[in-house]
Structure 1
Amino acid sequence: MDDEVPTNEEIDAVVRSMPWWLVLVWGLLAIIIGLMFITTPLITTYYLVLFMGVYWFVGGIFTLVSLFSDKSNMGWKIFLSVISMLAGIAIMAQPLFGSIIVLTMLVFFIGFWGILIGGTKLYEAYRSKDAGAGILGVLSIIFGIILLVFPWGAALALPLIAGAFALLAGICSVVVAFQVKKAQA
């Protein structure tokens, strides 16, 4: 990995080449999605998961169709396309149940990930005698265990948390868009 820090001139060149309006559109969309998750979390999650089901189904079809032009990794492509189509059909057939399952699986994933990261931080703290990493490790493990013990509550809170993050990211993107526009002037 290269740990070089970019110079101010390099950063300025990147900012000047960035389309400010694209950052603005991205920010406004994030604000809209964030507000939707905060004001109507269940309906927004329902339609997002339904969209995901359609996306998986169509993606599976395209993966199968791609076999006509590229037969490499044929077994994996068939396997992945069948799994994608089955998951898409299952979610489209039962979108409410699919929403609950998807959110709960995501909570379990985040919980296990928190425990894994926490263990890694504890090991890092032990090796480097870093109390800060140790505290982060313990907090991460506690967070992971809480998610695994209360997955349903966490699954219900997840859309609100995602909405808050989307809203914050959208506001930051709008501010950055106007800063980029000002820098380009």
Structure 2
Amino acid sequence: MVDIARSWWLILVRGLAAVVFGILALAWPGLTLLVLVIFFGAYALVGGISELFAGFRHGAQSRAWLIISGILSILAGIIALVWPGITSLALLLIIGVWAIVSGISEIVAGIHLRKQIDNEWLLIIGGALSVIFGVLLLARPGPGLLSLAWLIGAFAILYGIAMIALSFRVKNFTSGARVP
């Protein structure tokens, strides 16, 4: 614990960086989404290339799957980098459809469980909220994308505040602890 207490300022810098990132994400949500899509594109390209190399080095059984997966990853990376708007919209649409499908299944499960468990209505309400969320995302994708950036920004600010508070707690530990 004494070692971490000596470097309390590193935790403080980490927290301050998170707060700054969060403020920037809230101030420029469109740019935040663009950067995330670019990072995804770069990740998909690197992952796809590594899968291709692995596919050519492995035995016949896994070779085809690795090569196909590598090619698909490379294509996804290229699409993300060439058309970042389409990539972010596609992600949002996938999330919207998933929310609707999972919400409907939760509603159906809640109805079937009515005779077996108490408070099944909570599952039904959760499913209904999921369906509403999915419909809203599909009906208004623009605000949905901005909401994602705002959520990331809010998380970064709260995380940063927690790290800043931790850094001062750790710093106070050094003043109260005896170092041998």
User: Does TM, normalized by the shorter one, top 0.5?
Assistant: yes
Matched, 1:142 2:128: yes
Count of matched residue positions in the alignment of Structure 1 and Structure 2: 168
Higher Rg of the two aligned structures: 2
Verify: 1:81 aligned to 2:67, yes or no: no
Could you tell me which runs of 5 or more consecutive residues in structure 1 were left unpaired when the two chains were aligned: 1-14
Please report how far the alpha carbon of residue 173 of structure 1 lies from its aligned counterpart in structure 2 after TM superposition: 2.6
Q: Does 2:58 correspond to 1:44? A: no
Matches within 5 A, 1:1-185: 23-67=11-55, 69-71=57-59, 73-113=62-102, 127-129=116-118, 131=119, 134-135=121-122, 137-151=123-137, 152=141, 153-183=143-173, 185=177
Query: What 5-or-longer segments of structure 2 have no aligned partner?
Result: none
The CA RMSD measured in Å over matched residues stands at 3.3
Deviation (angstroms), 1:44: 1.1
After superposition, what is the alpha-carbon deviation per residue over 1:18-57, rounded to whole angstroms, capped at 9, x for unaligned?
Answer: 6756654543443233222211001110121012111101
Report if the CA contact (8 A) 1:122-1:138 is conserved: yes
Give the letter aligned to residue 132 of structure 2. I
Percent identical: 29
Distance between the aligned counterparts of 1:89 and 1:164, measured in 2? 30
TM-score (norm 1): 0.70
